[in-house]
Structures are given as C-alpha cells and as structure tokens.
Amino acid sequence: MALVLSGCTIGSQRSPSDVVASLRGPDLAAQAADLPYASLALDLAGHGGLVVLASQQASTTYWQFRDGATLALEDGYPVASAGLRDELLGTRILDANEASPPPYPWRQPGSEVHYRIERQWQDAEGNLHQDSARVALDCAAPATVELLLTRRRLVRCQETSHWAGGAITEATLWRDPEDRRLWAYAGQPWPDAPTLTWQIARPW
C-alpha cells in the first residue's frame, strides 16, 4: 500500500500530551479523510505523519514508512521495529506472575493493572541492550478526546515502567471504556528511547 507522509515531526522536549495534540492538524485530517485505508497519525524518531496499514498477522499490525522502516504494534502496543535509527528488537508482555497474560494488560477491567515487560533494543551507535520492567497502569475516568477524524470517549491510562537497570519510563495510553481497545499512545517505550506517539486516524 502507498504511504503518505505529512512532514509532521516532533521535538524531544515536548510532553506526550502536547505531541498527541500536535497530530491533529488540518492537513493530516484531510489526508486521512481522503484515504480509504486504515491509518495512523504516527511519529517516532523523526519519522512522522500519516501511515497506512501495510499488513496484519493476528493482533499484530505493521506500519511502514516511505524509506522502508517498519513499526510493529501488538494490539496497539509497540513491540518491534526495523530500519529505524534506534531499533526495538523484541518485546515480551507478561503478567505480574511472569506468565503470558490473557488478555493484554490494557484490555483487563479495573483502573489499576500490574504486569512485566521484557525488551531488547539497539541504540543509534549499534550497541545492543536488554532489560525488564515492572509496570503499573493507572486509568482515570472516561473523558471526551478529539482524535484526527472523530471525537470519542476514552479512558486515559498512565503507564509507569520501573526497569531493572534503574531507569523509569512513562507512557500514556488511551483506551475505549467498553472493549478497552487502544486508540492512542504517547511515551517512551524503553530507557533512552525516542518518544513514540500514535493515534488511530481511520480504524481497521
């Protein structure tokens, strides 16, 4: 499928909420409205704009940029990438007892969920890293959120990851109050990672 880039980029000093707001520009909205394909408004490490769904395998979706770089989202959660300057090589999502959780933590009912993640990544200098984190997801009451093509009531959840190596990272997830599907994400997927933001433009 074709990829459309709007030229939208983010700065590393901007908060996740500011970044999500910046992805609601009129140009992106017009492009998303014109495209009949599933799409995200997405930015990672300077790659940004409107991207369409390249492929899907079960709950994992693949989003490809013009230069061939690819980001994989598992049920909306970043799990791997290819062709980026800072590379996410792999992710495991585990429950608090270190078992694979059914369902995904953000799909579970309740306002607070605890789980673990394990990640492997490669930094811009080519150094390989791996770490694990104990994660808390705290969710607020539903509120109306302006997305690229629509307005929806979503639950804002704050994800705080305490990594075994000592780092703490944060991300914000916006989920549907009924089926708890993720509609937007903004945060740092691993220690020293570039900020990743995405929101659904046209659903799939």
Q: Over the chain, what is the mean pLDDT?
A: 86
Phi, psi (rounded to 5 degrees) for 84: -100, 160
CA distances from 154 to 10, 27, 60, 87, 140 (A): 23, 24, 22, 30, 9
Write down the pLDDT at residue 46.
Answer: 60
At 74, is the pLDDT very low, low, confident or very high (cuts 50, 70, 90)? very high
Given a cut of 70, whether residue 24 has pLDDT beyond it is no
Cα torsion 26, 28, 38, 117 to 10°: value is -110
Q: Domains in the chain and their CATH numbers?
A: 16-202 (2.40.360.10)
pLDDT at 100: 75
Note the pTM of the prediction, 2 decimals: 0.84
Tokens of 177: 């109050």
Share of the chain above pLDDT 90, in %: 65
Q: Kindly state the tokens that stand for 18.
A: 């500011």
C-alpha to C-alpha distance for 6 and 133, rounded to whole angstroms: 34
Residue whose structure tokens are 């369409």: 52
Q: Which residues pair with 71 in a beta bridge?
A: 63, 81
pLDDT, tens digit, 9 for 90 and up, residues 186-200? 999 999 999 999 999
The pLDDT assigned to 16 comes to 40
Give the residue from 123, 135, 133 showing the smallest Cα distance to 194.
123
